[in-house]
Amino acid sequence: METMIRVENLSRRYGRVRALNGLEMQVPAGAVYGFLGPNGAGKTTTLRILTGLARADKGQVWLNNQPLALQKLGNRPSIGVLPEEPAFYTWMTPREYLRDFVAPLYKLSRQEAVSRSGEMLEVVGLSYAAERRIGGFSRGMRQRLGLAKALLPRSELLLLDEPVSALDPAGRKEVLDLIELMRGQATVLLSTHILSDVERVCDKVGIINKGKMIIESPRQELLDRYALPIFEVESENGFGDWIGTASRIDGVERLEVAGRTARIFVKDVQQAGRNLLASIMENGIVLRRFEKVTPSLEDIFLTLTSEPAAEKGS
């Protein structure tokens, strides 16, 4: 499979802060790539370097197998960018902004600028507001307009920084459906903290922490490899001292407790399930619910970005 983005040993400091620390990364052409990490992990710095808005202290970036530093603007793949908080000329309407400001930047003909601006406003659900001033838009509406801008030139590479963070559930679904449609037509690098969205639309996932790539893997392989089975136990009368007992049961890896609900991560489902139920009965815990649940990308993310896991992964 061809590679659209390849990053090797990328490092960047801001004063005493090390934003990137030898980052390695490969994004297949035509894929939707989920770029994950805690706040301050280095995601935005990476995107700024990819777009040419920042320079690395060391390391190398290739776009479409060409070194970024040696590429002339005319030879680079067309890149559409959606920052986390896009900025606009607020006195313009969305149609004016896309047709008269953005389209000429990409040297679109007048006829194509007119047709593409109308098409993109319809795609992102802003046709109804095409003649309204942007200054009166909500954050969610501005996010949609930013996505229309990124899509306008039929970009080969889309760099999306938190593209659905400001949208309501219906808007999120529409934008995610649109991102799914981009698969195969463009390469999408999706930086987000909404893990369920990544689990839904992404082909490959990269998890970054403290400027380093902890793990990079196809989504399903990541789930198959790291997702421990989970039992959720909900009690009518609380757990008392039982949590300490449960943590020592054969097959139990770790526990998370919130109020009267415990999430118990296990290695062997059958063995741990039998032992857990026997222990619950012995300790007089009144069950409201005992259920085996499917692990999610969020469970893996929290495991891998905890201190011991992050150190082990590096």
- Per-residue pLDDT tens for 270-285? 888 888 999 998 888 8
Residue 310 lies in a domain: no
Residues 242 and 174 in one domain: no
Residues 244 and 142 in one domain: no
Residue 69 lies in a domain: yes
Q: CA-to-CA distance for 146 and 126, rounded, in angstroms?
A: 11
Helix 139-151 crosses helix 110-123 at what angle (to 10 degrees)?
Answer: 140
Residues 207 and 247 in one domain: no
Residues 189 and 210 in one domain: yes
Residues 200 and 84 in one domain: yes
Banded pLDDT at 307 (limits 50, 70, 90): low
User: What single DSSP character describes residue 282?
Assistant: H
- pLDDT of 76: 62
260: domain CATH number is 3.30.70.100
Banded pLDDT at 312 (limits 50, 70, 90): very low
What range does the domain containing 27 cover? 3-217
Banded pLDDT at 67 (limits 50, 70, 90): confident
Residues 88 and 138 in one domain: yes
Given a cut of 60, is residue 74 above it in pLDDT? no
Question: Is 16 exposed, middle or buried (CB count within 10 Å of its CB: 0-12, 13-18, 19+)?
Answer: exposed
Residue 206 lies in a domain: yes
Query: Of the residues 217, 236, 261, which one is the last residue of a structural domain?
Result: 217
Query: Of the residues 217, 239, 270, which one is the last residue of a structural domain?
Result: 217
- Per-residue pLDDT tens for 87-121? 999 999 999 999 999 999 989 999 999 999 999 99
Residues 241 and 276 in one domain: yes
Residue 86 lies in a domain: yes
Banded pLDDT at 311 (limits 50, 70, 90): very low
Given a cut of 60, is residue 246 above it in pLDDT? yes
Banded pLDDT at 75 (limits 50, 70, 90): low
Residues 55 and 157 in one domain: yes
Residues 142 and 266 in one domain: no
Residues 232 and 108 in one domain: no
Residues 142 and 237 in one domain: no
Q: What is the pTM of this model?
A: 0.78
Give mean pLDDT, residues 242-254. Answer: 87
Banded pLDDT at 310 (limits 50, 70, 90): very low
Residue 298 lies in a domain: no
Averaged pLDDT of the chain: 87
Is residue 20 a contact partner of residue 40, using CB atoms and an 8 Å limit? no
Domain count, the chain: 2
Percent of the chain with pLDDT over 70: 94
Query: Of the residues 217, 246, 271, which one is the last residue of a structural domain?
Result: 217
Distances (CA, A) of 229 to 58, 191, 197, 198, 226: 41, 27, 21, 20, 10
- Per-residue pLDDT tens for 206-221? 999 999 999 999 988 8
41: domain CATH number is 3.40.50.300
Residues 112 and 239 in one domain: no
Residue 196 lies in a domain: yes
